[in-house]
Structure 1
């Protein structure tokens, strides 16, 4: 397992947010937990992945994610089992939608 951690500043808090879990860890997939956290306006991302050596790709995917979803006071935990960047983006968007809707998605 490889562990990667990222922190982004300058986002906006989400009003009705509640913790959300999307996806499932299975062959070629991942799960994402997104939850509110007191982070002084930052967004933190922790990734545990079975696919070692892809740090630059994860960095690009997370940079793109934060450019699209400028979240603040949010912790995102990702458990990955070899998902492609397209699947990662799909699950991240799904998690943010559920998070912004307070679980109504």
Structure 2
């Protein structure tokens, strides 16, 4: 297992005052817990992954996600069992959209 941490400063979009869990941890999938947090406008992401050595890819996916959503005062925890970058992006978008009231 590998743990990766990313922090993006100066976001502009705050989410609902409740946590949201999407996805499941199983072979080739992941779960995302997204929740409000007092982070001085930042978005903090912690990833626990079974796929060791893919930090550069995770960083690119997280950077792209934050550029799309510009989250502020949000903490995201990801438990990964080998999901592809497309599945990671899908689950992250699903979590944000759920918090914004766009469904599950």
Match of 1:50 in 2: 50
**Does the CA contact (< 8 Å) of 1:17 and 1:100 recur in 2?**
no
Aligned to 2:59: 59
Q: 1:75 is matched with which residue? A: 75
Q: What residue is the counterpart of 1:20 in the other structure?
A: 20
Aligned CA distance change for structure 1 residues 46 and 92 (closer, same or farther; 3 Å): same
Aligned to 1:86: 86
Partner residue, 1:29: 29
Partner in structure 1 of residue 4 of structure 2: 4
| TM value normalised by structure 1 | 0.93
TM-score, length of structure 2 as denominator length:
0.94
What is the alpha-carbon distance in structure 2 between the residues aligned to residue 87 and residue 104 of structure 1?
Answer: 17
Q: Provide the C-alpha distance between the structure 2 equivalents of 1:15 and 1:8, rounded to a whole number of angstroms.
A: 15
Contact 2:15 2:74 in 1 (8 A): no
* Aligned structure 1 segments of 4 or more residues deviating by more than 2 angstroms: 13-17
Q: Which consecutive unaligned segments of at least 5 residues does structure 2 have? A: none
**Is the partner of 1:79 in helix, strand or coil?**
strand
